[in-house]
Amino acid sequence: MNNSLNFDFLVIGSGIAGLSTALHLSQQGKVAIVTKRNIEESNTKYAQGGIACVIDRLNDSYEKHCADTLLAGGNVCDEEIVRKIIKEGPVAIEHLISLGIKFTKSNEMNSRTKSNDFDLGKEGGHTERRVLHAGDITGFEIEKGLVEGCKKNSNIEIFEKYIAIDLLSSKSNNNSNENSIQGAFVLDIDNNKVISFTAGSTIVASGGAGKIYLYTSNPDIACGSGVAMCYRANAQIANMEFFQFHPTILFHPDAKSFLISETVRGEGGTLKKITPDGKFVEFMDEYHKLKSLAPRDIVARAIDNELKKSGDDCVYIDITHRDEEYLKKRFPNIFEKCMEYGINMSKTPIPVVPAAHYSCGGVQTDVNGWTGITGLYVVGEAAHTGFHGANRLASNSLLEASVISKLAAIDISKKVEGFKKIQAKQEVQKWTCGDATNSDELVVISHNWDEIRRFMWDYVGIVRTQKRLERAKTRIRNIRYEINRYYWDFNITSDLIELRNIASVAEIIIDSALQRKESRGLHYNSDYPKTSEKYKNTIIEKNKEF
């Protein structure tokens, strides 16, 4: 294989955002998808709950969905973008269905909501039933359908176990400051080769950053690579202090990152704590009028507070009022997983704890995913469109990714020729570091990774203080100095690439949190417990030192 490959479009990432964008772009030209693991491995694959969309027009409306989104988002979402994405939702659903993705029908569940034959779920923050699902493995089914569609498409070439290192930045030969992106430097992991992928348009769809925290619902791939790469390419990063902690991850010593979907509470499950005499009692009525269906930031802080007060390891979701047959049908994956650990959810409350789940901030883009930089788009969780505001409404993420992927493809079709004219006048960046080599510093990489995840959990977690944030800032600066000065130039490995990205995004989150002198949505600072009357986005730009 040559050390340079050229395509019309380069897509980095293989979740719903990346694969959907690739399918739309394949109508315009040749598309390369690079993904650092197998193509199926993504945050999308593990999404249980569903995809929010106004389907039941008799009981629901775009206005209601917009109102719920704005309220959950701390009333700081971009309202115009919220309306655009929600109104485009039904078309996005039709596209998924056209790929063979099957959502659960009402006759399969004896559903109370029978609109277009879909069984519609209800989750925290939603005032109506509008969540389409495929049992409790919605993300798995969506991912499977999209992967099959991409593999069948002759205009799409898939590169598995290829990890992007940096975006390929270019500037004009006439010393103009106009920056553009013409692809990415990518490490072929199996062959230890760095390859330049060049393209007229590069779409970053690399997903979330949950692995920055010690406890997370995310798979190991979620290292924030898209935000980190775009930051280094001088894109603006917005509102990264708003990191969502899912309230309910299965608590068991042998379980790793297993999510207990919010739909369990949507179907009547209640959050309970255990009293000293062994009784299960509800507690969410002390925190919010919606009780166990309150928005996620409120539920996560409530659980955190209860655990700190009691010293207990976990709280519980009690859905034992539902019979076993119903639970097996509605939550087959969750039921089976709980049974693996000796928990029959029809008879025993499920032990749960909060964990890092979803980044509401990201690379600043417009509603089409464009960053404002020639040739560079960002879609999905790596992007900040203004849709989620200070707190994501449940099941809105798959909706956003599906809608924006189509809008991005349409926008690229209008701009791509202009991009090419600009790029033709520019010199393509060359790879200057040495070849990839195996690192003799694996113990250092492992130690730094663990240290970052632990202090991010302790100091930049659900509840923050200025002193904790300043401690985190001191530690991350030292680690980033090590990465960039001691061994980055010598050992280009996938582990080091991921560590570099985690460290970069961790510092962006810390800097964003330090800037916000208020508590709002997912950002709660005990030193600034009130919400400011004036809201503005937190914008972080590249630090010249790193």
Residues annotated as catalytic are 296
- Measured between alpha carbons, how far is 112 from 123 in angstroms, rounded to an integer? 15
- Measured between alpha carbons, how far is 93 from 26 in angstroms, rounded to an integer? 19
- Measured between alpha carbons, how far is 512 from 101 in angstroms, rounded to an integer? 38
Sheet holding 237-238, edge to edge: 383-384, 362-364, 237-238, 539-540
Pair 389, 70: CB distance under 8 Å: yes
Question: What are the φ/ψ torsions at residue 177 (nearest 5 degrees)?
Answer: -85, 0
Segment holding 351, helix H or strand E: strand 350-359
The dihedral of CA 328, 331, 333, 339: what is its sign? negative
Residue that the structure tokens 């010393």 belong to: 175
Question: What are the φ/ψ torsions at residue 180 (nearest 5 degrees)?
Answer: -145, 160
Q: Give residue 198's Cα distance to chain centre.
A: 26
- Measured between alpha carbons, how far is 229 from 184 in angstroms, rounded to an integer? 9
- Mark residue 183 as left, alpha or beta (left: phi above 0; alpha: psi -120 to 50; beta: remaining): left
Query: Could you please report the per-residue DSSP string of 179-207?
Result: EEEEEEEEEETTTTEEEEEEEEEEEE---
DSSP state of 103: P
